[in-house]
A and B are shown apart, each in its own frame.
Chain A
Amino acid sequence: MITFDSVTKRYPGGTVAVDELYLEVPAGQTMVLVGPSGCGKTTSLRMINRMIDPSGGRILLDGKDIQQSNPAMLRRGIGYVIQQAGLFPHRTIEDNIATVPLLTGWSKPKARERARELMDLVGLDAQMARRYPHQLSGGQQQRVGVARALAADPPVLLMDEPFSAVDPIVRASLQDELLRLQGELHKTVVLVTHDIEEAIKVGDQVAIFRPGGKLVQVDTPQRLLAAPIDDYVEDFLGFDRGIRRLSFLAADALDLETDTVVRADTQAAAALAKAREAGAQWILVIDSERLPQGWIATGSLESMPGDATLAGAGLKRYGHTFRADTDSLRAALDATVLSPTGQAVGVDEAGRVVGVTSYDRLRAAIQRADESDQPRQSDQPRQSGQPGQETVLSS
């Protein structure tokens, strides 16, 4: 756990880079520091491994004041990933990765073996071990940077705008990779970015800073999107936060309609009766395996002979489906918006129909999710400088 206790960084000219920062980074979680340039996020990060020393306050690493530690020793226990990777151009990939193990006195064969393990962990081909950094793409270099930071298995990982120098597609895959790694390794990660989307994607918690080194709000991404503390945070979160927030709400909160789902061997009259009973405009036709076939309008059912089955009827394509058990409400909403009938098909693992959405059902699900989210507020009270709480705010 990393604790910032009233940490201030003031430069000789009087510029305040970080102003009275209280922040707790719980062990095993990813804390993202985000804000515009000049907000003190990078300074805060670099104070953790003493690349910058604070002018006031204390930083505790697992309860121990880092000012008491020898900087070089402290740093060998803290992984550091820098923008543009910062690989040593004169060392091979494996020797780059083995840097900290070699510094701490491992034998060369053991350190190289560890390097190979890490290359595998971050998804780098073993053939690259003997290459030099300039022979790798930007994305591959950044993977090496992550592997190098993890080599000595430090409990803490600092990442300074790690993905900002690569193109958006590579960035997205590196972010996914980080999430996967973090799922396996549970490091205490502090990541700095100016990209709020990245913060929301990779952070367990996000700390939003404002110019002048002020921390404005710390919360889970979901809580931030639902309840920004002020206009600054709301502006910073940007457009369509209401929709983006749905990414964090599970589609299993949806109460899916099942009455308007009928098998293809049903007779038209029976289907029509069901539709009228449910007051539905559209009926979803499924096969005997419960796989979706398509939509039929109640109007079409009326014009069909009552004893005809739906098997031969002309069906409207059912469009995108979503996983009712694992997708988010955002996926369900998206499928609904894209559907020609304004209703989307929720399926299970095998693609079998679970039920269908409607805008009313989506609204009800969002409401339910919000209500169930409310009580959690009291679990995470916002207060200043009290250790033991996840959410701590500066004044």
Chain B
Amino acid sequence: MSWALSNASMLGHLTGQNAYLALVPVLIGLLISLPLGIVSARWGWLYPPVLTVTSVLYALPALALFVVLIDYTGLTDTTVMIPLVIYSLAVLFPSVVDGLRSVPEPVRQAAVAMGFGTWRRLATVELPIATPIVIAGLRIACVSSISLVSVGQLIGTGGLGYLFIDGEQRDFPTEIVVGIVLIVALALVTDTVLVLARRWLTPWQRGAAATATTRRATVRAELRVRPGPGGI
């Protein structure tokens, strides 16, 4: 404990770096998943091949990706973040598609019949209804990304992962324990923020809210947690 206090500034810096390295890739993953998901929900035949690609990418070992990427991006943050973007994509892309598919057919038809154009319908009806399921995917992507960042320590940029290597080399278990606690804490804080964001964004789901379909689809998204990507 006293070690942690006396190194608070370093720990704060590492935690911030860990959050940055983990969450920026999730954000980028979301920005890629949204158009990809929208297109795949609209033209259903696209979904299986795209899903296969994102799933296969998920299986690539991070270490192998680093080896390849170092030639292009060097020992930088980018090299750590690219694999994380790929892993986020594998979780978020199916969430976006599931979310859009959770829009009940009568609701979609009613929107068409009321005179919504395609984009307006997407922005004001379909995406809002998809939000709970997309956020369920985001929670998984964020939490796994936060813990995966430590692998980046293999190339010297691993956020809190530094504490594991350093603790191991100095044979100082306290450092390792503090690293684990901080990663878990960061994951919990991020998750809490996402839960609050969902509550704020989906006021219709408060209380006994979630409709049966949404709940089922959310559970499906949450069940899609797989064993760690790339053999980690």
Interface residues in B88-115 by Cβ distance below 8 A to A read 104, 106-107, 109-115
Say whether, besides A90-B202, A134-B211, A75 and B114 are in contact (CB < 8 Å): yes
Surface stretch bound by B, among A81-89, A201-209, A315-323, A339-347: A81-89
12 A-B pairs within 8 Å (CB atoms) are namely A49-B113, A72-B117, A75-B113, A80-B110, A80-B114, A82-B106, A82-B110, A83-B106, A88-B110, A90-B128, A99-B114, A103-B120
A82–B129 CB distance below 8 A: no
Interface residues in A122-139 by Cβ distance below 8 A to B read 132, 134
B131 to chain A, nearest CB (A): 8
Residues of A within 8 A of B112 (CB): 51, 75
Interface residues in A285-333 by Cβ distance below 8 A to B read none
Residues of A within 8 A of B203 (CB): 132
A180 an interface residue at 8 Å Cβ cutoff?
no
B116 to chain A, nearest CB (A): 7
Residues of A within 8 A of B113 (CB): 49, 51, 75, 78, 80, 82, 158
Residues of A within 8 A of B111 (CB): 88
A76 an interface residue at 8 Å Cβ cutoff?
yes
Cβ-defined partner of A89 (8 Å) among B115, B116, B117, B204: B204
A268 an interface residue at 8 Å Cβ cutoff?
no
Query: Contacts A82-B109, A90-B129 given; 12 further ones with Cβ under 8 A?
Result: A49-B113, A51-B109, A71-B115, A72-B116, A75-B115, A76-B114, A76-B115, A89-B104, A90-B128, A90-B204, A103-B116, A103-B120
Interface residues in A65-123 by Cβ distance below 8 A to B read 71-76, 78, 80, 82-92, 99-100, 103
A89–B129 CB distance below 8 A: yes
B209 an interface residue at 8 Å Cβ cutoff?
yes
Cα distance, A51 to B203, chains bound together (Å): 31
B122 an interface residue at 8 Å Cβ cutoff?
no
Cα distance, A76 to B114, chains bound together (Å): 6
B211–A100 CB distance below 8 A: no
Residues of B within 8 A of A145 (CB): 110
B125 an interface residue at 8 Å Cβ cutoff?
yes
B107–A86 CB distance below 8 A: yes
Q: Which range holds the interface residue count of chain A?
A: 20 to 34
Cα distance, A53 to B200, chains bound together (Å): 41
B106–A103 CB distance below 8 A: no
A134–B114 CB distance below 8 A: no
A93 to chain B, nearest CB (A): 11
A58 to chain B, nearest CB (A): 21
B69 to chain A, nearest CB (A): 41
A100–B114 CB distance below 8 A: yes
How would residues 201 to 214 of chain B score, 1 for a CB under 8 Å from any chain A CB and 0 otherwise?
Answer: 01110000101000
The binding surface of chain B is classed by DSSP as: helix
How would residues 125 to 156 of chain B score, 1 for a CB under 8 Å from any chain A CB and 0 otherwise?
Answer: 10011000000000000000000000000000
Residues of B within 8 A of A75 (CB): 112-115
What is the chain B residue whose CB lies nearest that of A92? B204
B124 to chain A, nearest CB (A): 9
Say whether, besides A72-B115, A103-B116, A86 and B211 are in contact (CB < 8 Å): no
Cα distance, A235 to B47, chains bound together (Å): 47
**Chain B residues engaging chain A, CB cutoff 8 angstroms:** 104, 106-107, 109-117, 120, 125, 128-129, 202-204, 209, 211
Residues of A within 8 A of B109 (CB): 51, 82, 86
A41 to chain B, nearest CB (A): 16
A270 to chain B, nearest CB (A): 70
Residues of B within 8 A of A99 (CB): 114
B138 to chain A, nearest CB (A): 18
Cβ-defined partner of B115 (8 Å) among A85, A103, A148: A103
Cβ-defined partner of B104 (8 Å) among A49, A86, A92: A86
Residues of B within 8 A of A73 (CB): 115
Cα distance, A150 to B25, chains bound together (Å): 47
What is the chain B residue whose CB lies nearest that of A91? B204
Residues of B within 8 A of A158 (CB): 113
Residues of A within 8 A of B106 (CB): 82-86
A103–B114 CB distance below 8 A: yes
B204–A100 CB distance below 8 A: no
What is the chain B residue whose CB lies nearest that of A100? B114
A88–B125 CB distance below 8 A: yes
Cα distance, A103 to B104, chains bound together (Å): 21
Cα distance, A300 to B104, chains bound together (Å): 71
Cα distance, A158 to B106, chains bound together (Å): 14
Residues of A within 8 A of B209 (CB): 132, 134
What is the chain A residue whose CB lies nearest that of B131? A90
Cα distance, A134 to B202, chains bound together (Å): 13
Cα distance, A71 to B115, chains bound together (Å): 7
Cα distance, A87 to B211, chains bound together (Å): 13
Cα distance, A72 to B118, chains bound together (Å): 10
Residues of A within 8 A of B117 (CB): 72
Say whether, besides A72-B117, A134-B211, A87 and B204 are in contact (CB < 8 Å): no
Cα distance, A158 to B203, chains bound together (Å): 31
B127 to chain A, nearest CB (A): 10
B204–A86 CB distance below 8 A: no
Residues of A within 8 A of B110 (CB): 80, 82, 85-88, 145
